[in-house]
C-alpha cells in the first residue's frame, strides 16, 4: 500500500475529535499545582534550597513589609493550596487563592523586571511571564472546576 493511501486510511479511521475535558482538567491541575508546590515547600519546609517558614516570614514581614497575616497566607496557600489543587480538593477556591499569590508576586517583585524571565542573567530579577502562564491555567480551573478525576467530584 503506497504511503499516501495508508496515511489517508489512518486519518479516516482515527477519531479526530478526541475530547476529554476531565482529563484536560486533571493535567491542568497537576501542572499548576505541581509547579507551585515546590515553591510552597521552599517557604514552609525549607526544601529545595528554600529558607523555611521562620526565615520566609521574616523576609516577608521585615524586608518586604507585608503584614503578618498576608505573609502567613502566602506560605500556606502556596503549599497547601497547591497540594489540594493537585488532588482536586476545593480546586476553584485553591485556584483563586493561588491567583492572588501570583498577582501579589508580580506586583511586589516581578513587574519592574519586565515580561521575560531572566534566561541570560542580564536582568535584575525574573519577569512575570511565568506568573501569567500559571494564572491562565488557574483561570481555566476556576471556570471548569476540578473535573471527574478529583476529590471534588466525590462531593
Confidence of residue 55 (pLDDT cuts 50, 70, 90): very high
**Helices (runs of H) and strands (runs of E) counted in the chain:** 7, 0
Q: Does residue 144 surpass a pLDDT of 90?
A: yes
Q: pLDDT tens digit string along 70-123?
A: 999 999 999 999 999 999 999 999 999 999 999 999 999 888 888 888 888 787
- Count the neighbouring beta carbons within 10 Å of the beta carbon of residue 152: 19
What is the SS3 assignment for 127?
coil
Q: What is the grid cell recorded at 44?
A: 514552609
Q: Does residue 14 surpass a pLDDT of 60?
A: no
In this structure, what is the dihedral angle of CA atoms 109, 55, 101, 35, given to the nearest 10 degrees? Answer: 100
Q: State the Cα–Cα distance between residues 3 and 118, nearest whole angstrom.
A: 46
Q: State the Cα–Cα distance between residues 62 and 68, nearest whole angstrom.
A: 10
Per mean pLDDT, which range of 13-17, 97-101, 140-144 is the poorest?
A: 13-17
Q: Does residue 62 surpass a pLDDT of 70?
A: yes
- Mean of pLDDT values over 142-147: 94
- Count the neighbouring beta carbons within 10 Å of the beta carbon of residue 62: 10
Q: What pLDDT is attached to residue 47?
A: 96
Q: pLDDT tens digit string along 127-137?
A: 889 999 999 99
In this predicted model, which residue has the larger pLDDT, 84 or 6? 84
In this predicted model, which residue has the larger pLDDT, 33 or 117? 33
Q: State the Cα–Cα distance between residues 57 and 65, nearest whole angstrom.
A: 10
Confidence of residue 48 (pLDDT cuts 50, 70, 90): very high
> The pTM is what?
0.84
Amino acid at each position: 500500500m503506497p504511503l499516501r493511501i495508508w496515511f489517508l486510511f489512518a486519518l479516516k479511521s482515527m477519531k479526530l475529535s478526541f475530547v476529554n475535558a476531565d482529563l484536560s482538567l486533571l493535567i491542568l491541575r497537576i501542572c499548576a499545582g505541581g509547579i507551585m508546590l515546590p515553591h510552597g515547600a521552599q517557604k514552609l519546609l525549607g526544601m529545595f534550597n528554600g529558607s523555611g517558614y521562620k526565615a520566609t516570614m521574616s523576609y516577608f514581614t521585615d524586608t518586604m513589609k507585608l503584614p503578618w497575616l498576608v505573609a502567613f497566607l502566602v506560605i500556606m496557600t502556596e503549599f497547601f493550596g497547591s497540594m489540594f489543587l493537585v488532588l482536586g480538593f476545593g480546586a476553584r477556591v485553591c485556584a483563586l487563592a493561588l491567583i492572588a499569590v501570583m498577582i501579589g508576586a508580580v506586583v511586589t517583585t516581578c513587574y519592574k523586571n519586565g515580561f521575560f524571565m531572566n534566561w541570560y542573567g542580564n536582568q535584575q530579577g525574573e519577569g512575570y511571564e511565568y506568573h501569567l502562564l500559571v494564572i491562565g491555567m488557574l483561570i481555566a480551573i476556576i471556570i471548569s472546576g476540578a473535573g471527574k478525576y478529583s476529590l471534588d467530584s466525590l462531593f
